[in-house]
Structure 1
Amino acid sequence: MLVIYCAMMIGVLASCQPQSQTITYVKEEVMIPMRDGVKLFTRIYIPQHIKEPVPILLMRSPYSSWNMGTVPPDQDPYVRDMAKEGYIFVYQNIRGKQKSEGQFVMQRPVVANHITDTVDESTDTYDTIEWLLKHVKNNNGKVGQLGISYPGWLALVSSGYPHPALKAVSPQAEMGDLFLGDDFHHNGAFRFSYGFEYSFEEEAARGDTSFPFPQYDLYDWYLQVGPLSNVDTRYFHHRIPTWDAFAQHPNYDSFWQHQSPLSYLDTPRIPTLHVGGYWDQEDINGPQLMYAHMEKYDVHHFNFICLGPWYHGQWVNEDVEQIGHYEMGSNTAAYFQQHIQKVWFDYWLKGKGDGHFPKAIAFQTGSNQWKTYDSWPPRNAIHRKLYIQANGGLSFQPPTTASDQAYDSYISDPAKPVPYRSRPIEKTYSEFSRWRTWLTEDQRFVDHRPDVATWETPALDSNLTVTGDIVAHLFASTTGTDADWVVKLIDVYPDIDSLHPQMSGYELMVASEVFRGRFRHSFTDPEPITPGKVEEYVIDLHQINHVFRKGHHLMVQMQSSWFPVIDRNPQRYVPNIFEASESDFQPATQRIYRNARYATYVDLPVMKQ
């Protein structure tokens, strides 16, 4: 989730600005006792030479480096602007991780408000704040909490049952529902390589431990693993609790539902700023999902969101002007750190500023401008349907073919799955891994494969601004009894782009998602697909704010594998894919329909120019 930032932050130090000349920080390391006696390792940076009490900024984390204060706050770009004016910075490891006592439980369910004499992350946060207020001198009695990824989820859960002194939180790239749309599953499709590597990294030892792969390019390695049942037989041997949970809970049962913030958070009880990235390769859904969920209950106007052109946590960096080959046109990280995050906490914790925050601040890709909105998604968008057509065409006009047999087809073979990014596919958390930027990778590497269907518009004669939720309505059939459907919305650059020559002909994926067909009616109660039957699959591709510029083309791609980030669907229905055998894996013919009765389209929320 954010282990990779240890190496990244070391690189950042080389280009940091000089330490503040007016405020210096002294570090203390303590073990803070919880209500059950377990002590948590905590680093505290206390500002010196300040004339008045200052607030506490808390970050909690399972990791050894990120959000643990290994970089002093006045040298850390992420919080340096706040450090210049004085905050007490507190970094704490959660139970069972690094130097903290107790047992680590992955995304420990928040139950203490329902079950007495127990603990969870919200009670540990409460107890930590109580201790800090009493033992750290010169605090002003106000606390804020922030974090990215797992630490972002920790900030989110603390807001549900907050200590009275907790005045504002910013959950950033927070984990949302881990079955519906974040880290471990997307619409029930299991995130194989990520789930394998992350669960081992967090649970094989108390510290962060990387799986010892025998080769650099892991596409063939994961393919040779075979059925998912071989993972425990060959490698884990029931020593990784989270992997066992994957295998024992293949559907959206009470295990996943109780872990989901949707089950224990409703109204925002304190001001909450969700932060996310359009190209977040790990937790793209969490900020969007939780903002929308909490917005339904926001009677106090406490719920806000910021979305930017970033991969997972990219906004922590010193200078962010590019992701992959896409150029942002400005330092978006500095803008976020100075004009959004700092302004947010300065108001709620120090009373600085007017507190007039827009509901949403969303960077607009394509035009490379920051935009503000009084609702998110904007209410004034006009929904237009982008239909697939014959001969690889794509347009806003519905198909008129009367024959129900008008379709495009391809053969999906689990023995030859479509890679989710170009090879080599490096280990997720490694020095040269391209994991962070794969969602912006040029899709030309697959657009001529026979198992990838592609449709494209003519060149646009004017700019097209799309802002809000992208939803695909796929009418499809399969000769199998289960299928995965991957849908991608792509911005195709002109053959020659004079402004950015390296982007000439580039196929930039601006929205994408996978859906496991067995869950088309229910994530709780899956069922086989009837071979040959045409069914509608509604697939949320998440939120964007993007200008398809004049001269560009819109493209839609569909496929039935995305390996190894998504496990191979056997395409023969078995109740639990984690128990599938080699003989269950079979090729299937997939048909995508484009006729008057079954018109496959992507719903685009289009803004008036």
Structure 2
Amino acid sequence: MHRSAAFSRFRCSPCCKTAILAAVVAFLAPASMLAFGKHGNASQLDSYAGQYRELKEPDSVFSVFREGDHLTIESARIARTALASANTASSDVFVAEGGKLKYTFVKDSAGKVASLKWISSRRGNDEEIVAARIDGPPVHNRFRPYSRQEVMIPMRDGIKLRAIILRPTDTHETLPFLMERTPYGVGDCDSNFINGEYTEMAQSGYIFVMEDIRGRYESQGQFVMMRPIAAHHDPASADPNGIDESTDTYDTVAWLLKNVPQNNGRVGVTGISYDGFLAAEAGIDPNPAVKAISPQAPMTDVWIGDDFFHNGAFRQTYGYDYVLGMESGKENAFGKLDEDAYTYFLNAGSYYAAGAKSGVDDLPSAQSFLHHPSYDEFWQARAVQAHLNEVHVATLEVGGWWDQEDMWGPQAEYAALKPHDAKHEVFLALGPWNHGQWVATTRHLGEVDFGAATGDQFRRQIEAPFFAHYLKDQPGFDLQDTASFQTGTDRWMRYSSWPPKEGIAQRDLYLERDGSLSFEKPASAQEFAQYISDPAAPVNYRKRPIEATYAPTGSHWYTWLAEDQRPYDGRKDVAGWRTAVLDHDVTITGDVLADIFASTSGTDSDWVVKLIDQYPQVTNCPEPCTGVKADKDGYELMVAEEIFRGRYRESYARPEAILAGQSEEYKFSLHGADHVFLKGHRILVQVQSSWFPLYDRNPQTFVPNIMTAKPEDYKAAEQHIYANSHLVLPVAER
């Protein structure tokens, strides 16, 4: 939900320049803002000039120029920036952005410049980036110039919202608006931001509008986390002036049409995460000028499957960090927990105790968690999918297979809208990304290499043509329904619907007592695998130490869903099953369901189910051996996964205790997947009862509210997973 990356819309605010996902923030400051002296003679500076291609991300190419007595550096997405001598013992070291970031030109044995290296935190932690020199002179990249205007836009109730308007200065043609509304701050939005952030659409030309929502940064009013949809669309409502994000969008659009000259009367709205939620709201009772929206990784239902809860299990560390960052003041304040979150929350006990220890418990959303642990009217009023019963505007939903924050939202919104899509204007794009990663130029997610800059492909071939078609009547948008990047084979697929129906068979993959997986139903459903779940030593959800979600010093939060699962093999509190080595490819395309029959010696329990692709030893890998670096033999990659809190097996709104020792059925979605388990790989399944500290510990004793559980409530339990438990896999016919 937090826009913490340099290229992760929305990212204008100073906080958002901590750069996790994408290009190097060092280059964001324009050269005109950097005052540097001379550093070296002309011939020495000329020796550095040229093009440099990143070794790990070969789609990122940087050009270094000598301009008079100094160097500049730029790329297709980074504005020209001056480099200055670092005044070190080596004349090959330069700095940018006021000396905060250091770049070193590396020479070969013959004394010629061979590469450029620097330290980046773009993937969540400090990492040395190396770019090798390539043939050819440096290349200037055209950044389209945009003017900047700051305005305060009045809403129907008199509150004014701050917005930044940017339009290209090199044309007098009428243009459509492309708007993003955000709680993360718009003050730093300028021409360089637009060109780096919306590279493809900036070149096409739009009037960009970036707006602070109510109560955030320079906008007036009160901020309400995921403000409920008002009854403004209800003819029987007694409050015609009810406001929400939909009405604020409507009023903003009306003001823009009237007050910004040379617009063509059309508006598009886009955004990722919280901004994706705001984009979806723009399509509910929209201003008639809104013609296209793209909710990307939208927070849709934060109790069912996005952000704060998953199937009733509370996302403790995320809720703690996000609420502290968003509600401590009008501006972002993330990353305050500076110790291992596993230790902190284990020692604190319950979520309420952890919040009271730091003062988080007094913040509005923390109070909401405490007083509304079940799916009551409070959360239902914020569930966007319940309001998606009409298609008013063309809609492009976007999501990532490894989105650690809002994987559920885009597929849920697409599913809600599609039955009403008479004009066939609802589209879906799903790729091999974490949260918002499609805005970056990268082939990787953690250690996994997908072989192409899939985000660039999406933006150029789908996103930019989508808005150009609906806002400018331009040709080129050819998506019929769904575009999905199929992992394993690492290629884009097109489907007539999601999930596709033709050529797909629903097959049950059973969890046998002996630890094997089989598509054959077991002879006896009474046999079981077992493990002990102990709340005093819960299973960590990612490698330790576990940093704060948005720690300014770096966090593995962004890539944890793609982390190797081998450390959890063989644990006494994790049950595991696997197939034999596959003798043919197995393709799954669609929703993956877990149908688990289990018992516990306690009276409450969580059930975590993970579907995993186990890569072979590289020496035994049939050609082509792709997907993971060669030094990751046997890597275990999660393909689909989810948690379910057992007390909600009958009703999300009315929790019930589990009868100790009795087998019960728990059926829940692991979400969609489009993946090929290649020949030579194995299919694995892991089941466990904790995923800590992302999810709060289930005490395994039924209590009315887990968030206020007492130390004596937490008890170890014996868990049985019966042999009729299975995953329902959407297997493509061979």
**Structure-2-length-normalised TM-score:** 0.79
Which residue of the partner structure matches residue 302 of structure 2?
178
2:215 counterpart of 1:96: yes
2:208 counterpart of 1:79: no
2:460 counterpart of 1:341: no
- CA drift at 1:457: 0.1
2:189 counterpart of 1:69: yes
- CA–CA distance in 2 between the matches of 1:99 and 1:278? 35
Which sits farther off after the overlay, 406-415 or 497-506? 497-506
User: Residues 184 and 332 of structure 2 are in contact (CA less than 8 Å); yes or no, is this contact kept in structure 1?
Assistant: yes
Which residue of the partner structure matches residue 592 of structure 2?
470
- CA drift at 1:239: 2.7
- CA–CA distance in 1 between the matches of 2:407 and 2:297? 7
In structure 2, give the amino acid aligned to 1:170. S
- CA–CA distance in 1 between the matches of 2:359 and 2:391? 40
Which residue of the partner structure matches residue 171 of structure 2?
50
Which residue of the partner structure matches residue 257 of structure 2?
133
- CA drift at 1:12: 5.0
Which sits farther off after the overlay, 2-11 or 109-118? 2-11
Q: How does 1:210-609 map to 2 (within 5 A)?
A: 210=334, 212-215=336-339, 217-236=340-359, 238-317=361-440, 319-353=441-475, 355-380=477-502, 381-401=504-524, 404-430=525-551, 431-496=553-618, 499=625, 500-594=629-723, 599-609=724-734
User: Residues 306 and 408 of structure 2 are in contact (CA less than 8 Å); yes or no, is this contact kept in structure 1?
Assistant: yes
- CA drift at 1:608: 2.3
- CA drift at 1:300: 2.4
Q: Helix, strand or coil for the counterpart of 2:420?
A: coil
CA 1:366–1:543 in structure 2 vs 1: closer, same or farther (change >3 Å)?
A: same
User: Residues 204 and 240 of structure 1 are in contact (CA less than 8 Å); yes or no, is this contact kept in structure 2?
Assistant: yes
Q: Helix, strand or coil for the counterpart of 1:504?
A: coil
Q: Percent identity?
A: 45
In structure 2, give the amino acid aligned to 1:44. I
- CA–CA distance in 2 between the matches of 1:237 and 1:601? 40
Consecutive unaligned residues of structure 1, counting only runs of 5 or more, are none
CA 1:259–1:361 in structure 2 vs 1: closer, same or farther (change >3 Å)?
A: same
- CA–CA distance in 2 between the matches of 1:139 and 1:177? 35
Q: Helix, strand or coil for the counterpart of 2:631?
A: helix
Q: Aligned-residue CA RMSD in angstroms?
A: 1.7
User: Residues 74 and 84 of structure 1 are in contact (CA less than 8 Å); yes or no, is this contact kept in structure 2?
Assistant: no
User: Residues 56 and 144 of structure 1 are in contact (CA less than 8 Å); yes or no, is this contact kept in structure 2?
Assistant: yes
In structure 1, give the amino acid aligned to 2:728. D
Q: Which of these two proteins has the greater Rg computed from alpha carbons? A: 2
Which residue of the partner structure matches residue 24 of structure 2?
11
User: Residues 40 and 99 of structure 1 are in contact (CA less than 8 Å); yes or no, is this contact kept in structure 2?
Assistant: yes
CA 1:321–1:355 in structure 2 vs 1: closer, same or farther (change >3 Å)?
A: closer
- CA–CA distance in 1 between the matches of 2:729 and 2:685? 12
Which sits farther off after the overlay, 205-214 or 42-51? 205-214
CA 1:587–1:165 in structure 2 vs 1: closer, same or farther (change >3 Å)?
A: same
Q: Helix, strand or coil for the counterpart of 1:575?
A: coil
Which residue of the partner structure matches residue 152 of structure 2?
31
Q: Helix, strand or coil for the counterpart of 1:502?
A: coil
- CA–CA distance in 1 between the matches of 2:464 and 2:208? 14
**Structure-1-length-normalised TM-score:** 0.95
- CA–CA distance in 1 between the matches of 2:211 and 2:429? 25
For residues 23-80 of structure 1, give each alpha carbon's deviation from its aligned partner in whole angstroms, at most 9, with x where no partner exists.
4211111111111111111111111121421110000000036x9735635432x411
In structure 2, give the amino acid aligned to 1:582. P
CA 1:21–1:314 in structure 2 vs 1: closer, same or farther (change >3 Å)?
A: closer
Which sits farther off after the overlay, 325-334 or 12-21? 12-21
User: Residues 269 and 302 of structure 1 are in contact (CA less than 8 Å); yes or no, is this contact kept in structure 2?
Assistant: no
- CA–CA distance in 1 between the matches of 2:360 and 2:465? 49
CA 1:22–1:335 in structure 2 vs 1: closer, same or farther (change >3 Å)?
A: closer
- CA–CA distance in 2 between the matches of 1:348 and 1:57? 11
- CA drift at 1:325: 1.0
Q: Of the two structures, which has the highest relative contact order with CA contacts closer than 8 Å and spacing of 6 or more?
A: 1
User: Residues 23 and 85 of structure 1 are in contact (CA less than 8 Å); yes or no, is this contact kept in structure 2?
Assistant: no
